[in-house]
Amino acid sequence: MENALGQAQTIVLLGGTSDLGMAIVERLASPATTAIVLAARDPAAADVGRFECPGRVVDAVAFDGAATETHQRFVEALVEAYGDPDVVVLAFGQLGDPAMLASDPTAAAALAHVNYTGAVSVATAVATQFRRQGHGRLVVLTSVAGERVRQANYVYGSSKAGLDGFAQGLGDSLAGTGASVLIVRPGFVHTKMSAGLPAPPFATTPAVVAEATARGLRDGKRIVWAPGILRYIFIVMRHLPHVVWRRIRR
């Protein structure tokens, strides 16, 4: 359980090798944090040493976002091993190659399954645990790409749009339970996943997203944008006439 200062004692990162996720965990960790769990498809690739300090357990464990049949038991095992989770950061997902996704139905379905169905599955299991324990904060990383889906990456964007809508409804369903959901909508972030892609205006860094996330949790926000200016840009973007919007190719 969080201490009197609102500092998390147990933090779980779903997507344990995510640059964004790790930056958020690093920002949220404090001397009060006694356990950090990095859950990844390849636990050996998780940077456990980044978070180690005296008096803190840092473990990397196996987690597959696509294996939805394992998610309920995965959350139960976390509780058995580490106690009630205070903050769970949902940061796994795939970007994919838009050209390949447009022509390969199997690849498109696989990406949508991980980004949306897998996230819905594990978030539901986490929310069930939060209701049982009476506290907990779920951080869901979506994307501005889901705010209005562009032709340039419509498979990815649609999966994030679906996840964002789900997370909004899930957060509303938790009202009054002591638990909550924070939706984080980053723009283009310089990470391993985006390496080699042309950076658009207002590109940002994991540290900026992490700071916005920490501030959002502290202030009890429902949704945060990173960087914040994107909130105002998309007020305009979402209302552009379709004939103009479909000409935007990046």
Q: Which residue in the block uniquely carries the two structure tokens 């649609």?
A: 158
Separate counts of helices (H) and strands (E) for the chain: 9, 7
Strand 57-62 with 87-90, pairing: unpaired
Give the number of other Cβ atoms within 10 Å of residue 99's Cβ: 8
Compute the distance between CA of residue 71 and CA of residue 128 in angstroms, rounded to an integer. 12
User: Which residues 6+ apart lie within 8 Å of 79 measured at CB?
Assistant: 85, 129
- Amino acid letter, 182: L
Q: Is 152 within 8 Å of 250 (Cβ atoms)?
A: yes
Catalytic residue among 82, 116, 154, 156: 156
Compute the distance between CA of residue 175 and CA of residue 27 in angstroms, rounded to an integer. 26
170, two tokens: 């899930």
Q: Is 82 a catalytic residue?
A: no
Compute the distance between CA of residue 45 and CA of residue 163 in angstroms, rounded to an integer. 26
The region that residue 46 occupies, defined by phi over 0 for left and psi between -120 and 50 for alpha, beta otherwise, is: beta
CA atoms within 13 A on the CB side of 39: 21
Residue positions annotated with a catalytic role? 156
